[in-house]
Amino acid sequence: MKVIILAGGFGTRLSEYTDSVPKPMVKIADKPILWHIMNTYASYGHKDFYIACGYKAEYIKNYFLNYSSLQKDFTVDFLNGGITTHGVNPIEDWKVTLVNTGLETMTGGRVKRMKDYFDDDETFLLTYGDGLSDIDIHALTKFHKKHQKMVTVSAVRPSARFGELDIDNGRVISFKEKPQLDQGWINGGYFVVNSSFFNLIDGDSTMLEREPLETVANMGELMAYNHDGFWQCMDTKRDHEMLEELWNSNKAPWKIDS
């Protein structure tokens, strides 16, 4: 399936980084979070990506335009302009379409602007450019095909911001550092969508999370795939530092074994 990734927001809550780069291009280790998300999908065979750009779109476009050459060692001959590559550096077999969906466009509007790249009866994958997960994409798409509704949203439990104390008469029974909450499911992205959904989005000012998804829910055409595993969005500097620490300590649940 084709994969749409929403990568056009301003990322104001992560301004320590997003003043200079768009949020999806903030790096975890040596790769942008956008790359990590794409690698998750690619590991399940979904390698045809459509990136909805907006804020600092040129940064994302330049990254992928030069991606192949930047992964290789090469010699540049200044006299004749020749370039010679060295060795064999494996490059991801991805296809990436970069679409400037507007600076002020809302999330629903960005999805709507992708309509021309899809057939009328096509099913596609959709997510945000700032959320990492160890979600099983095979199980997700199988669930969608089974219920045959218009949209599947992945429901996740957010991480608590602070350690959870279980207290009995003043005595701490257990201490859980940043546990997954036991109650309350939220929208974790990682959607599966039938292309008829495009027709429910009015235009650039439409937020995906409001009228379109509310309408689909009222129609009885929105199903939730419950994911109990790891999920974390990168909203703040603290989130970024936590994700980096997981990666650098080789404990990143979303990491794909090579």
Query: Pick from 62, 87, 63, 83: which is nearest to 73 by CA?
Result: 87
Mean pLDDT of 200-214: 93
For 21, other C-beta atoms within 10 Å of its C-beta total 18
Q: What is the pLDDT of residue 15?
A: 80
Q: What is the pLDDT of residue 168?
A: 55
Mean pLDDT of 168-185: 53
Residue pointed to by tokens 């999370």: 209
For 28, 120, 178, the CA distances from 195, given in Å and listed in that order, are 32, 6, 38
Q: What is the pLDDT of residue 158?
A: 75
Domains in the chain, please, with CATH?
Answer: 2-75+89-154+186-248 (3.90.550.10)
Query: Pick from 195, 107, 109, 187: which is nearest to 153 by CA?
Result: 187
| Opening angle at CA 153, ends 148 and 159, nearest 5 | 150
**Per-residue pLDDT at 179 exceeds 60:** no
What is the tens place of the pLDDT at every residue in 7-55? 998 877 778 877 888 999 999 999 999 999 999 999 999 999 999 999 9
Main-chain dihedrals φ then ψ at residue 12, nearest 5 degrees: -65, -25
Q: What is the pLDDT of residue 180?
A: 55
Residue partners of 205: CB distance under 8 A and separation at least 6 = 106, 109
Which of 20-24, 51-55, 103-107, 136-140 shows the lowest mean pLDDT across its residues? 20-24
Contact 6, 113 (CB under 8 A): no
Tell me what the pLDDT averaged over the chain comes to: 88
